[in-house]
Structure formats: C-alpha cells, structure tokens
Structure 1
Amino acid sequence: MGVEEEQIHRPKLLSDEEGWLLFSKVAFASSKGKCKDPELKRVGKGILKKCGGLPLAIKTIGEDSEIEVDQLANWWIGEGFIYKKGRKIARKMALECLSELISRCLVEAVRKRNYDGRVYSCKMHDMIREMIIRVAKRESFSSLDDQNANKASIHSRRLGVTNETLLQPLHGNSKLRALLVTKANWIIGFTRQVALAQVKSLRVLDLSLIKFEESSQFCEEDIWRWITSLRRLAYLGLRDVENLTKLPRSIKKLWGLQVLVLGECKDLKQLPRTITALPKLIVLDVGNCTSLSYLPRGLSKLSHLQELYGFKIPNATTPNACHLRDLKDLRELRVLQLDVMEGSMIEEDELTVLEQFQQLRMLTVNAGNRNDKVFLESLEKLSPPESLEELYLMHFCGHTTPSWIAPEMLDRLQYLCIEDSNELQYMSDHFRGSDENKWKIEGLCLKYLPNLEVTWDEIRSAMPGLKYVEVSHCNSLKSFTCAVKNIGFWRKPEEENEESDAVSLLEEHHQSHHKDEMN
C-alpha cells in the first residue's frame, strides 16, 4: 500500500498456551472450551503445531471434503442406524441427529438454506476426524492403513473405494456392511471372478458417479447378478452412473431394499415393472433422468413409499405407464417431485389426486416449459393438499401463477420457491389473499423470473410473517429492499421477529383465556 514500515502493524504469533485456549474455544464450544479427554487433548495439540501460532489458521483448521446430507441420511437408514419412530419418518430422525451433531460441534454445516438453516452438506473438523478414526479402529468399525485411509481386508465392515483401493483382500469376507465408491467417473472393474462378487453381506452399496463400460474387466450382467444376490441390501445408490440404460427384472429379489437412488442417470431409459415388487421401499429417486419418459404401472403397490422424486407424468396413450391417478393409494407420501414431459397429460379424473395425500409436506412441480394452452389449463385446475409446507414451481410457462397457489388453499405453507420462467408476469389475484386469509409463509425464493412484475409492498402485505427472501435475476420486481438483477437477500430484522413473536404469544394467551371462560 506504500506505507512506511513504522506504520505497519504486525500481530504477534500466539504462544502455545494462547493457541490452545483459542483452539479449545472453537473445538469445544459445546463444553465452554473445556477438553475433558486427555487423549483428545494430545491429538488437539498435535494439530495445533501445524497452525504455527496463526490465529486464523487455528480457527479455520479442517478443509475435509463435503458430504451431501441426503446421501448421509440414506446411508444411516440403510445401515439401520436410523429408523421410523412413532409419526416421525426415518429421514426426519436422521436430520434431527445431524442437527444434534452440529450443535455439539462434532460436524460443521457447509451449505445450508438461509431461510431456516436446513443443512444441505457438511464436513468434519480435523480433530474430530482424528478422534473418530481412533474409535473406528478400536471398535473395528472399518479397516484403515497407517495413513488412515480405507483398506480392504477379510475383516472390513465398511469400505470407501477409490481407484487405488485393492479389492482382492476382500476374498472370504463375510462381514462387509457398507461399500461406498468415492471416486467420480470410475470405470469399475467387475466380473464374476473378482473377490467382491463373493461378498453377500452388504446393507449399503453406493456406486454413484461410476461408469458402466463393457470390457474384459467389466461385465454389466455380472455386476447385476451380484447386486441382486445381496438379500440384506437396504440402500442402493446409483446416482449419475454413466451408460446405465436400464435395470434388470431381477431387481425384485431385493425384497429388503428401502432406498433406491437413480437420480441424474442421463442414459436411463426404462425401469422394469418388477420394481413395484419391493415391499419395503421408502425412497425412490429418478429425478433428472432425462431419457426416462415414464414410470411403470403398479407403483401404488409400494405402500410404504415416503419420498418419490422424478415422477414422470406420461402421455395419455403411453402403454404400461403409471399415471397420476395410480398414485392415490400412496398414503405415506411426504415428498413428491412431478416432472412434466413432452406430451404429458393430466386427465380430468387426476386433478384431485394430490389433495388426497394428507401426509405430503413437500411438492415440486417441474412444468417442463410446456406452453400449450390445454396443458396449462389442466395445471391450473390441480388441487394440492392442505398439508403442504414447501412448494417449488419450476419451468412454468403461464403468464400468471396458478390460482391454487393461494393462502386459502395452502394455509400451512411455510416456504415457496418459483424458478426459471421467462413467461411468468403476474401473481394471480388469489395469490394476494384477503384480510381473512393471509399467507403463513416465512421463506420466499424467486429466481430467474425476468418478467415477473410485483412490488415489495404487495409481497409484504400478502405475507406478514415473512422472515427471509432470496431473489436472483428478477429484473422487473419493483421497490424491493434487496438486489433483484443479480443475487439479493432480505432478512427480517431481529427486533421485528421478537415483536411478532410477542404478539403471537399474546394472541395465544387471549385465545386460551377465552376458551377457559367459555368452559
């Protein structure tokens, strides 16, 4: 900056004692900076030496890879660590466990939704990782080498696989519960002769991001023969697998399968009808499978299904396709993502199907950029369930929002997201509600809606409880208090939150008092 040497302030490095105090404050926040475990303290001081007394390094130590929360929850469910408890579904239990780990500073949230803090990805502090590795070795949770990398052995119970992992040492293994591929676009070597083909004890198998490519080292028929022989398998992850075009009919042999993830498999063209014979399935993900035009008829047999991503609304004449009306018996459904395809039709008797899903909490409608009048009219007549808490509308080509996006129809909605529409210009009159019917929405997200015309005053009037707004590339919004042309955020000031909370408590008190008087 051109300043004189005597004007430069050079902060001194922290002493070992000062460094440990700062480190403890960050790493042991849940116990007020106190480390009660002598072994953990020894590990911590070893990590501290790497920081060289630099305060910023001490506070930010730990640059491990991110872990997707949905994937983590699925692993836990697949292993049987997490399960449904009372009215709480397994995924909700998993997210609550993760929140507990975050609050105890054992896991760090990396990406999260600003509206309510819902975590999308997380990672682990170096020090916690060191502690967990030690416990994992002692408890034989997984097999690790001298560099603390996963290694395959006859005693392995859980294994993370990369290109460098030698799988032959698995020969004779009867304990392996989880195998997770951690290298993207890996062309897996698999034939019936490899040691892995003899492992039958897996509960969790995640082959996401690998590549199926027929060769002398890989046979797709052999790998499917092995997968469908895993009778204990509860979780099968095949997200974004290259060259995966179909699943075999023998998938029905996985009678214990609870989670099947096929999202982003761009080459997947069809699913076998036998997939409807998986009695314990609770999650089916075929979202963003762009070559898949329909799901097989009979999905209503999956009576325990709680989450369905990527349901393709088919053409009325598509043979053997599952239609929207066929989902009406899925009473446990909590999450539903609808994908509109070219030629998709919503028949008259399907318009009220959604309102029968009384457990549904999250609905995504990917309208597929369909702009034909007949389809838009049918979309306008849909009846959503009152139970919805989150609604996502994407690639919608109407000029005005559907009339059912209204507070009197969705009186429990807490979060609304509308994305990617060049045609959308106005919020419908129903959207604005009335003095008697106001939105209970707390979070609003508007993205890539360049022609949407609505004012900040209109939004605030319709949504008095609004706490968070995220806006991106919505150039026609008027008088918003945040940026609208690029990326903007608005958060309700804390003092206003406190005032509104106090008003709510006062109203509850008056209502309770009134009921007591009536009694």
Structure 2
Amino acid sequence: MPSPIVDAMVQTLTEQVFNALVNQAQFSLEFSGQFKQMKTGLDLTKALLADTENLNHKNETVRAGLSILKEVIYKADDVLTDCLVRDEYMKDASWAVYLLHDPFFSHRTGKKLRDINRHMKEVEKTLGRFLKAPDSIYADESYHVRGIMSQDWNPTDTIGLDDDVEKIKGWMFDTTKPLHRIGIVGMGGLGKTTISQKIFHDVKVLAHFDKMIWVCVSQSFSAERIMRSILERLEENVSGFGLTQILSKIQGGLKGKRCLIVMDDVWSHTEVDWWTNLCSVLPKQNSCIIITTRNEDAAISMGVESSQIHRPNTLNDDESWSLFSKFAFSSSSGICPDDQFENLGKELLKKCGGLPLAIKTIGSLLASKINSPSQWRDILESFHALTTERQASSVMASLRLSYDELLPFLKQCMLCFSIYREDFEISAYQLIHWWVGEGLVQGKGSKTAVEVGYEYLAELISRCLVEIVEQRGFDGRVYKCKIHDMVREMIIMIAEEEEFCSFNEQSRQKLTANSRWLSFIDEMDEKSLKYCPKLRAMLLISSRPFEFDRISGFLRSLRMLDLSNCAVDETGVKDLFNWISSLKRLASLNLSGIQALKEVPSSIHKLLNLQLLILNGCSHLEKIHPSITNLKKLIILDLVGCPILYLPQGLGRLSYLQELSGFKVASQHRKQCFQLLEIKDLIHLRVLRMHISDVAVIADNELDVLSQLKMLKVLAIDAEDCREKDVFGMLDKLTPPPSLQELYLKCYQRETLPGWVNPKQLSRLKYLCIENSDLVNLSSGHPAWKVEGLCLKYLMKLDLQWKDLEKDMPALRYMEISHCYKLKDFPCSVIESEIWRKNQD
C-alpha cells in the first residue's frame, strides 16, 4: 500500500494550493506560475500513488522515489505555510509595513518554489516508470469517519473470563497468608490485563480492600517512576522526594490498611533491591500483589510461588464466536445477519487461535464491511497470507490488517502514538491539539478541526487500535487513552519504515537527523536537538529542568511544542520565550502547568502562525502582554486556572477564535482590558468558559452579546468568586446564544435558574450541568426540555421529585448526581456520586 505519510500530505497540500489559487491569495498571484505547476505536479503524483497494485510490490527505485517525495512535500509545506501566514497579515496595514521590511522574501520564495517543482518533476519521472496513473486523475474523493459508538452497546464486555476471575479471587481472600503474591502469565493479547481489570473493579474486591493501586510497569520501567506512581495513587505530593522518603511515605499511607496493588505488564526483573524494599513497607494484613507478565521467571523472581501463578487459556470456539460477534455485528447488537457471514467469520477465527485481542481487532475491522461478503473474503485471504507465511502472529496480523484498512489521514494520526512510552496515559485534548497544530486534521464544513479530531480518535478506538482510559459518561467523549503494547510494537515498526521516527532495541525513541516527531525524555541531551532540523512536533516528558538556552535558534520547522508541566525556573522561562519567538511556523504551543510562568511577554507576537495557545493551570500567571491580540490565526486560547484579573483589550480582533476558556468578565470602567462587549466580534466561537466575580459589571449594551454568537455550542459560567446579588441579577438578564448544546453553571447562588435557562430559549440544549448552587427549584414552567444529559452536584437545597424531573425532561438518558440530599424517589443514590443511565432503570 502507498505510504500513508506521503499520501496524506500530498492530498492536504493539494487542497491548500488549490484553495489559494481559487481564492486568489496575494502570494498565489505573485507566484502564480509556480503554484499552478505545483498543483499539476501534485495531482499527477496523487494519481500515481493510487496505483496500489504496483506500489504493493515496489522496488528499491520506487522506495527511494517515495522517500525523496516526502522531503519535497515537507519543504513545499514549509513554503506554503510561510506564504499563507504572510498573506493573512498583509491584509492588515499595520502589519504590512512590518512584513515589507523583508525585501528578499519574494526572491527566496521564488527560488524555493522553482527548486521544489524541479525535484517534484524528477520524482514523477522516476515513479512514472513503475506506476500507472488512472485515466482520470480528478476523481472525486470522499471519506467518512464513524462517530462514537452508542453508550447502550458496550463492546468491551468480557467473554470467557469468569472462571479466571473467581479462581484468583479465591487466592486473594485466603486468610492463611498475610501478603498474597499472584502472577498472571501468558503471551501478548491473551487478556492478562483484562482479567486484572475485571478483578480490580469487582464489587467484593472493592469491599475487601481499603486501598487499591494500579501501576503500569512496561518494558522500560524505572524503580523510581514506579514508586512515585504508587505514591501519586495515594494522593500524596511526590515532588522533591528521594527514594527513601518515597518509601517512608508509602509505608505511612498504607499503614494498618488492606491493600491491593496490581503491577501490570512486567517484562523482566533483574534488579531486586527496590522490589524487596517496596514489599518490606507494604502492610501484611491480607494485602495482595497481582503481577501480569509474559515472562514466568519475572513473576517468580518477584516472590510469586508456582502454585499462585495463573495461566489464562485461550477462548474456546463458542467464546471466540461470542466475542467476535459483539464487535463484527455491533450494528445489530451482536447478531449475525446470515449463514454466509457466519461461515466466513468462523474461518477467520481459526486463524485467531482464541486470542481475545486478535478476535476483537479483526471483528472491529469487519464491522464496517457488514454489507459486503466479498470484502470479508478479501480480509480472510490477506489474514491467511500473513499468518501462513509466518510474517506475523495472529495478533500482529490482525492489527496490521486493521491499520492498513485505515484512511491515510487516520494512519498518520495513528502513527503519532509511537512516540509515547509504554502504557502512557495520553490526554485526548493534548493529542488532538497536536494533530490540529501540525495540520494532520482539518476542519470539514461546519465542523472545526478539533471536532473532526475527536471523530478520528473515536474511529481509532472503534477499530480496537486505541484503548479508552477515561471518558465522559454523557456522550463517550474521550478524556484519556492509551495503546496496547503490541499495537505500539506495530506502529513503531511502521514509523521506522516511514523514516519519521527511530527507536533502539528497548523500543525507546532515539534522535536522528531525519526525526520528524519526538518525545523528549530524561535520558536525552538538549544539545542533540541542534542536529534535528526536520522536527515538526516535540513533546517534553521529562522531570528534570530543560535548558532552553542550549537550543536557541534551532528547530525552525516546529509546528507543535508541548511543554506542559515542564520543570523550569524564572530564568528558564525567559530562555524559553527567547527561543520560541524564533519559531515562525509554530502552530500549537502548550505551556500548561508551568508554575514559574508569571507573564506572557511581548515576544509572543512573533509567533505569526500560532493557532493554539494552552496556558491552563499556570497558577502564577498574572499578565499577558497586549501583543497577543495580534495573533490573527489563533483558534484556541485556554487560560483556565490562571489568576489573570483581566485580558488585554483588542482580543475581539482574533476573529478566527473558536474556543476561549478562562475569560474573566471585567467592568467597562476598567480601561485597556477585554470587555464582554468585544465577545460579539468572535463570530466563530464554539466554546466559551467565563468567570464572574464581585467586581464584574455587565452593562446594558452587553446583555445581548452572547445571543450574537450564532455558532456557540458550549457555555460555562463560573461564579465561584462572586457573592454580590447585583451581579447575579445581571446574569439573569443575559440573552443566550440560540445554538447552545451544553450549559455549565457553577456556584450560581440563587434559588431559581436564570430566566433564560428554559426549553424555549435553549431549544437545542442536550446537556445541563449545575454545581455548588443554592438552587431550590429546577422546574422552568415551560414546555418539556430536550435535554439528554444532566449533572447535579452539591445542590443541598434542591427539592425535586423524580416523577417531576421525568415529566420536565422526557428525553433524559444520562444523569450524574452527587450530594443533593433533598431529591426524592430518584433511581440512584443522591448522596454519594453516582451515575444513572436510562437503560439501567
């Protein structure tokens, strides 16, 4: 199959060049001949790449040609980015003068475009000798990504593991041993982690143990990381502690308690001192350690007796078919439509060897082809070839087939997971921001790039290539995710084939001159980054201070930089901004959680291509320089958790802004600050999270500004710092946006909802969340709501009957309740945090 990197980039670049020519951008007029030549070349290249029959048997010449093509595409993308940024800012007279100070831009760009087109023509000639373009190279291309699967149909239900769980629980509850050590041993994809998870969430197990801790060990473990992880699970602060202090803290946190510790995915065990020390501080009152591993010797060396090792069996034929049906026939609730599909499915299962991961993956792949027996036969033949020719195990073969079936854009997104270490829990928010920043995900129609990114992630999850760690109960939106270690092995191999990442024998990423994406870890040296000029994305996963002064002036092609929770002092922050101010192509910058960041300096205005600026959790950030209002391409600004009193005046000029979080409403009497009145100019805003305090003043001419945000879908109002009744009176007079789908009210200290919170004015509202309020009555006195999801937390005065809520919200299918003591006859607990779903009633 064609290289997913080349295929996706060619298509994206073609669209951008085409749009520039159609819209007659200034730079496309200036370099009209070169861009038209580039468009023609890209169309022909895309057509050649469609010759999958010959690409599947590509020789060394074709491989070399594709490698050169990738380099040409990346260079073209750099030039196009520079031109697009310049064109955007040239529309503004004040910026035009600044940009015209570079009189050699046209000369340099023209030369680069000529070189790119020359190289592209040479590559086309090379590929054209082996590949054949179809008769028409302008065929319409479309794609479809499935949405998140229904919450009513949960494909993660386990099959055939009940006996395994009961056997291990019997060992755990044996009172004759003070400290149980249990091993679950088997090959990858057999379900060791799934069994452990089922035990970990078992009702009897939860009732038996006082403390429960899950630790992902993985191949590249460190004793310090594991013990810090245990301490974090005990909700203890781990910063600044050495191993001896950590052990002491663990001992104190577990003293006198029965605890369960799961050490998941242990590969080897050669260092015994740290393990001996850890076990010595664990309580001995019927506590238990469960170790999952592929290596039986590792379990034994960690003190597990042979009699306490469980070896899961593969699934039998009936269990395999049941699990396969859940995934392959998910659209019909697991029921096979006819004998033809059953026969084909059972032939495939013979190749899976009863391994759950292989069965789930191949089933998920076939689910999208439920109307095509011929496509099922094609998959069966491919699967047979891979396993018969010993190219891969049944698990790896199923994973590779599932990957190969992905659309090029999804393949590119999937490969991003390769730079995360084993068992790393990845923030979906940060991952999608990376995809958007680098241009791997584009907005489609009325959907923003972020919304499309969540759809892409949902599709990867539905294919069983990505696992959900944490998600929102209402609609399944993913908060955290990770990948199975065998999936990681596969995409590491593909990433190296594509020459965009390199890894050592321990599957740790290593730096090379051709690296495009990088996860920077403790063992790496900042100086080595000077020799990685092609880097486009860098994620810092390091606990030690990063020396930014050592890379000043380098990494000019970076599109995404994630330095969240970076350990840096005030001097380091200054060096950081000195460096990033030279990154003219940077599109996504995440500085969240950097405690030494007190001010965003004026140099931020130099990041002309910046589209996402994430500063949430910077608990000492008090000021942002007004020059931020010049970042015309900004689409996301996140300031949640920052103690900034007000934002600079002029943010209304950021007309592309789609998400604004952490905005604090100020009085119109305060000069030089961003006013609520300016909000009306942010016509593309989809998400607004605002804070109200006692000093806030909402003037009469500001009461209808929200109603002018025709695209706003999410509104969150936090009045935690507000006690003044007059301010709440102002909130009551607001006019809501007509398209609102989600509303969050926090610390709203009134007995009734604002007058505008009613089904008539919020006719599209799907989700309503109210927290920490004096609310007494929820009834609106209007026609029934269309709300499907409801969250009520810490509403001590709310007096409400379940039958009345059912009447007011007949479409309600999901509800989250916590500490609402006066609710009556509800189908779930109203005291402790609990979730209700309609199908459970």
Q: In the alignment, is the contact (CA less than 8 A) between 2:553 and 2:582 conserved in 1?
A: no
Residue 190 (str. 1) matches residue 548 (str. 2): yes
Question: Residue in 1 aligned with 2:529?
Answer: 170
Q: Match for 1:231: what amino acid?
A: K
Query: Secondary structure in 1 aligned to 2:489?
Result: helix
Q: Which runs of 5+ in 2 are unaligned?
A: 1-172, 176-308, 318-351, 367-378, 398-420
Report the alpha carbon displacement of residue 111 of structure 1 after superposing the two structures with TM.
1.1
1:286 to 625, 632, 639: 639
Report the alpha carbon displacement of residue 424 of structure 1 after superposing the two structures with TM.
2.5
Supply the distance in 1 between the matched residues of 2:395 and 2:575 (Cα, whole angstroms): 47
Residue deviations 1:2-61 (CA, integer Å, cap 9, x gap): 89xxxxxx9975269998323321343314697824477338479xxxxxxxxxxxxxxx
Structure 1 pair 458/183, CA: closer, same or farther in 2 (3 Å)? farther
Question: Residue in 1 aligned with 2:355?
Answer: 22
1:381 to 733, 736, 755: 733
Q: Match for 2:777: what amino acid?
A: Y
Query: After superposition, where does 1:328-339 map in structure 2 within 5 Å?
Result: 328-339=680-691
Residue 367 (str. 1) matches residue 701 (str. 2): no
Query: After superposition, where does 1:208-247 map in structure 2 within 5 Å?
Result: 208-214=564-570, 219-247=572-600
Query: Secondary structure in 2 aligned to 1:257?
Result: coil
Question: Residue in 2 aligned with 1:201?
Answer: 557
Query: Secondary structure in 2 aligned to 1:211?
Result: coil
Query: Secondary structure in 1 aligned to 2:824?
Result: coil
Residue deviations 1:141-182 (CA, integer Å, cap 9, x gap): 223222111222332211111222222222233201011112
* Count of aligned residue pairs for this structure pair: 464
Structure 1 pair 43/279, CA: closer, same or farther in 2 (3 Å)? farther
Question: Residue in 2 aligned with 1:424?
Answer: 775
1:485 to 828, 831, 836: 831
Question: Residue in 1 aligned with 2:748?
Answer: 396
Residue 309 (str. 1) matches residue 664 (str. 2): no
Report the alpha carbon displacement of residue 404 of structure 1 after superposing the two structures with TM.
1.2
Structure 1 pair 466/17, CA: closer, same or farther in 2 (3 Å)? closer
Question: Residue in 2 aligned with 1:67?
Answer: 426
Supply the distance in 2 between the matched residues of 1:16 and 1:480 (Cα, whole angstroms): 41
Per the normalisation by structure 1, the TM-score is 0.84
Report the alpha carbon displacement of residue 187 of structure 1 after superposing the two structures with TM.
2.2
Report the alpha carbon displacement of residue 183 of structure 1 after superposing the two structures with TM.
3.3
Q: In the alignment, is the contact (CA less than 8 A) between 1:170 and 1:196 conserved in 2?
A: no
Supply the distance in 1 between the matched residues of 2:603 and 2:485 (Cα, whole angstroms): 43
Structure 1 pair 213/491, CA: closer, same or farther in 2 (3 Å)? same
1:346 to 679, 698, 705: 698
Query: After superposition, where does 1:456-471 map in structure 2 within 5 Å?
Result: 456-471=802-817
Report the alpha carbon displacement of residue 347 of structure 1 after superposing the two structures with TM.
1.4
Report the alpha carbon displacement of residue 363 of structure 1 after superposing the two structures with TM.
0.5
Supply the distance in 1 between the matched residues of 2:593 and 2:678 (Cα, whole angstroms): 27
Q: In the alignment, is the contact (CA less than 8 A) between 2:361 and 2:463 conserved in 1?
A: no
Q: Match for 2:638: what amino acid?
A: D
Q: In the alignment, is the contact (CA less than 8 A) between 1:232 and 1:256 conserved in 2?
A: yes
Query: Secondary structure in 1 aligned to 2:353?
Result: helix
Report the alpha carbon displacement of residue 273 of structure 1 after superposing the two structures with TM.
0.8
1:444 to 766, 786, 790: 790
Question: Residue in 2 aligned with 1:327?
Answer: 679
Supply the distance in 2 between the matched residues of 1:167 and 1:295 (Cα, whole angstroms): 34
Report the alpha carbon displacement of residue 73 of structure 1 after superposing the two structures with TM.
0.8
Supply the distance in 2 between the matched residues of 1:45 and 1:128 (Cα, whole angstroms): 8
Per the normalisation by structure 2, the TM-score is 0.52
Question: Residue in 1 aligned with 2:473?
Answer: 114
Question: Residue in 2 aligned with 1:504?
Answer: none
2:652 to 300, 316, 319: 300
Structure 1 pair 144/341, CA: closer, same or farther in 2 (3 Å)? farther
Supply the distance in 2 between the matched residues of 1:281 and 1:206 (Cα, whole angstroms): 16
Residue deviations 1:254-307 (CA, integer Å, cap 9, x gap): 111111101111110011111111111111111111x21111110111010111
Report the alpha carbon displacement of residue 127 of structure 1 after superposing the two structures with TM.
1.5
Supply the distance in 1 between the matched residues of 2:676 and 2:799 (Cα, whole angstroms): 33
Give the number of the structure whose alpha-carbon radius of gyration is greater: 2
Question: Residue in 1 aligned with 2:445?
Answer: 86
Question: Residue in 2 aligned with 1:272?
Answer: 625
- Output the aligned Cα RMSD: 2.7
Q: Give percent identity, aligned residues only.
A: 40
Q: Match for 1:21: what amino acid?
A: G
Supply the distance in 2 between the matched residues of 1:262 and 1:246 (Cα, whole angstroms): 11
Q: Match for 1:102: what amino acid?
A: I
